[in-house]
Structure 1
Amino acid sequence: MSVQLKDGSRKINQYHLLKEIGKGSFAIVHLGETSDEQRFYAIKEFDKRRMRRQRLMELRKQLKTLSILNDDKDPLNLVRTEVAIMKKLHHPNVLKIYEALDDPNTDHLYLVFEYCHGGVVYSIKPGQQNTPLSEEQARHYFQQIMSGVAYLHSLGIAHRDIKPDNILLAHAKGNCKIADFGVSEMFMKPGDDMVSDMAGTPAFMSPQLCKAGNAFSHGYTDDVWACGVTLYCFLMGRLPFDKPAILDLYSSIVNEEPEFDSRLSPECLDLLQKMFIKDESNRITADAILEHPWITKNGTEPVPSYSDLETSLESITDEDVQSAQFQLM
């Protein structure tokens, strides 16, 4: 239960909410700590009433346009999906969730995550030119990101929103952690990664997601494209495709090639070009990226195997998502 303290702060069960550290469409992120362990946590607070109102507005909109009702856009269902998936993952480069707390008195939901002191790995916005990372620093981060992505793919999970804002640093220049699994997809059959809906951040979307009338794309190859955009941002300090109008952006992604800095090493350029192949059937895979000469420094620094971290991840059912194991406070 949420308790108001004399100093104006709040306590949620054993977690003392110290300050607000982030804000999204439906959630406020707090820095929290426990007095017994003296540990910090990132605690996402959701107002479920607001999320239900948003869902009702979407339903009315769909009924007016005679659209097919789509539960995938239900904000509360997205949170349940995030919890259901994240509770089954164990990898050093994937953000850990500890618990989900449901407060019936306030109708608020709290997700308790490990706190990453270093913040986002790299900040990039449309229209910006930032200071690029060195190839060495970019490789250090990207090795970890791809280790996490390959782990997800090995378990039948496509993240679907890879971007620098969703990669956190445990400490400054420390371990990368992949976060935000709200639009992720769990595939039930080996080799089946077809997705029929659009998800992700426009500037990081693959050509397949940007094509008008394209009913399907592949979740894994979409992830690889988004990873390529992320690496490009690290190395170039800007987005590879950057147009103010959304249709112009989609057209650029589908039809144009990114510009590369001549100072990039041949190995680095080769990897980027393989990630930016328009035809997804020829695009490099996450596993192949881990063995690429630029990633491994020509085999002298192989990425630690994640195979020993693979679990017999059971399929995430609709029941898993609907219940999502929200602990009552």
Structure 2
Amino acid sequence: MMVSSSINTFTTNYCSCKPIPTSPIRRIHVRPSLDNAIEVSNGISYCSSPIQKKRSLIDHHSLSFTKHHFQILKSLSPGQYGKTYVVRSKLNQQIYCMKIQSKRLLKMHSDRVSFDVEQAILSLQHPCLPRLYCSFEDDTDHYLVMDYFSGGDLFSLLDRQPTLCLTEKQAQFYMAEMILACQALHQLGYLHRDIKPQNILLDHLGHVKLVDFGSSILISQATKNKQSTPVGTCDYVSPEILDSFQGDATYGTEVDCWSLGICLYEMLQELPPFYSDVSENDTYRKILFHQGQVSFNDMLPISDQAKDLINNLLTKRENRLTLDQIKMHSFFDGIDWDTIYQSKPPFRPRLHSDDDTSNFFIPQDILQEAKQDDNPDDDDDDYISLSQPITPPLSPLLKHTCYIPSSLEQ
């Protein structure tokens, strides 16, 4: 009783945002993020259309861009620190995604989100990641203009399935491309720290693109410097990141491998393995004390190979498979890792135009609110977010008591 009371007191005192009601319908279980930078799709949806792939890019390095170089076409998912739009460049008439982030809010939460890190990653121009077209700023906001991916996200793809799941063959494909994208990010020197279906986008052919790098961090920094701020999203965060709230945690690529395991489980079993309809705190408890907690739904049977891979990802960090070990697992028998991006995806998005947003799922009530606030010139920071922030209790949720920082005590 004391544990529950302390945790609830902590969450109430620490989190300034009101919770979002969750729907009993599976795919609308919008869950709070651990850091204020996260949105359900982080408001980002990127992807090159067939027309965009043929475009002749303008030499944007020689130009000084402003928001007036772009025509706002459609609003996408609003985020905790800003808004995202489908836009058309007035210079080359191509479609892009424009992410606008409030400088004031970014400064307030600089321990949780970094515009500079996201900009740096997008600037690397890796084929598994969105391409940055340009970035600029004004007195109140930062702007990122990047590829718009009209194929939707993995979350929306799952939502459209009759069973709300994928077959193992389909999951094998998406998981394989997610692994390659994650491996590419690690090779560039960064951890993602918020891999989830909403951050796995699909291009016009249906291939995977990894997005949303606001919570990313240099691997060298995460492994050498003790981390004190949990980031990520409730159902997908690793126990190592939750432990960072104690202020003495370091971690590495294993945190992204954990999140990949959560995604695979969700693709095959409908819900994340530690999901709780009781509270987010109950999910945190399950994650922190995850040993022996992973169970499988007999109504959604999966192979022993799939179970073995999941169990070897959702385990202690010292036993967790690395990305190279994952690629060698029997679950991926038959996958040609060298040619998968030339293969045919299980689903090809149906697109009616370059600026089509129909492949993204956004709850109607939130979408209506977003449409009422669809002016990027507004100076207010009263953004609507599909995924509100919450900071979990310290990992010594200790089975006995929960430490509450003195600054938060009543």
- When normalised by structure 1's length, the TM-score is 0.72
Q: Is 1:268 the equivalent of 2:312?
A: no
Do the aligned partners of 2:153 and 2:201 also contact (CA within 8 Å) in 1?
yes
Please state whether the residue corresponding to 2:248 is helix, strand or coil.
coil
Q: Do 1:194 and 1:218's aligned partners in 2 also have CA atoms closer than 8 Å?
A: no
Q: CA deviation at 1:214?
A: 7.1
1:4 aligns to what?
none
1:196 to 227, 240, 247: 227
Shift in Å, 1:143: 0.8
Tell me what 2:239 maps to.
207
| Matches of 2:190 and 2:106, distance apart in 1 | 25
Give the corresponding residue for 1:326.
none
Shift of 1:209: 2.9
Is 1:152 matched with 2:185? Answer: yes
The match for 1:136 is 169
The count of residues paired between Structure 1 and Structure 2 equals: 265
Alpha carbons of structure 1 residues 183 and 280: separation in structure 2 relative to 1, 3 Å: same
Q: Aligned partners of 1:232 and 1:110: how far apart in 2?
A: 35
Partners of 1:130 and 1:25 lie apart in 2 by 31
Q: Are 1:160 and 1:199, in contact at CA under 8 Å, matched by a contact in 2? A: yes
The SS at the match of 1:282 is coil
Q: How far apart, in 2, do the equivalents of 1:50 and 1:264 lie?
A: 44
Structure with the higher fraction of residues in strand conformation: 1
Decide which of 187, 211, 234 is 2:267's aligned counterpart: 234
Change in CA separation of 1:195 and 1:145 when aligned onto 2, cut-off 3 Å: farther
* Residue of structure 1 equivalent to 2:281: 247
* Percent identical residues: 28
Residue 194 of structure 2 is matched in structure 1 by: 161
Cα separation, 2, equivalents of 1:276 and 1:301: 22
Q: For 2:246 and 2:91, how far apart are their aligned partners in 1?
A: 55
Q: Secondary structure at the match of 1:232?
A: helix
> C-alpha distance in 2, partners of 1:248/1:138?
28
**Aligned partners of 1:150 and 1:209: how far apart in 2?**
19
Partners of 1:304 and 1:185 lie apart in 2 by: 28
The residue type equivalent to 2:337 in the other structure is V
* Contact 1:233–1:240 (Cα < 8 Å) also in 2: yes
| Counterpart residue identity of residue 79, structure 1 | F
CA deviation string 1:109-164 (max 9, x = no partner) = 22111001112112499xxx961111111111111110011122223211011111
Cα distance between partner residues in 1 of 2:325 and 2:339: 13
Candidates 96, 111, 124, aligned match of 1:72: 111
Structure 1 residues 141 and 88: alpha-carbon distance in aligned structure 2, compared to 1, 3 A threshold: same
Q: d(CA) in 1 for partners of 2:284 and 2:105? A: 31
Please state if 1:93 is matched with 2:128.
yes
Aligned AA for 1:98? Answer: Y
Query: CA shift at 1:176, angstroms?
Result: 0.9
Give the match for residue 145 of structure 2: 112
Query: What SS class does the counterpart of residue 87 from structure 2 fall into?
Result: strand
Taking the aligned partners of 2:224 and 2:154, their CA distance within structure 1 comes to 28
In 2, Cα distance between equivalents of 1:275 and 1:305: 25
> C-alpha distance in 2, partners of 1:50/1:215?
26
- Secondary structure of the structure 2 residue equivalent to 1:304: coil
Partner letter of residue 209 of structure 2?
K
Distance 1:204 1:99, change over 3 A: same
Cα separation, 1, equivalents of 2:241 and 2:296: 23
Residue 184 to residue 13, structure 1, CA distance change in 2 (3 Å): same
Local SS of the residue matching 1:280: coil
Q: CA deviation at 1:192?
A: 4.0
**Structure 1 residues 210 and 34 mapped into 2: Cα distance closer, same or farther (>3 Å)?**
closer
Q: Secondary structure at 1:111's aligned position in 2?
A: strand
Cα offset, 1:213, TM superposition: 4.0
TM-score of the two chains, using structure 2 as the length reference: 0.59
TM-superposition CA deviations, 1:175-199 (whole Å, max 9, x none): 111111111111348x946651311
Which residue of structure 2 aligns with residue 186 of structure 1? 218
Superposition pairs for residues 277-296 of structure 1, below 5 Å? 277=315, 279-295=316-332
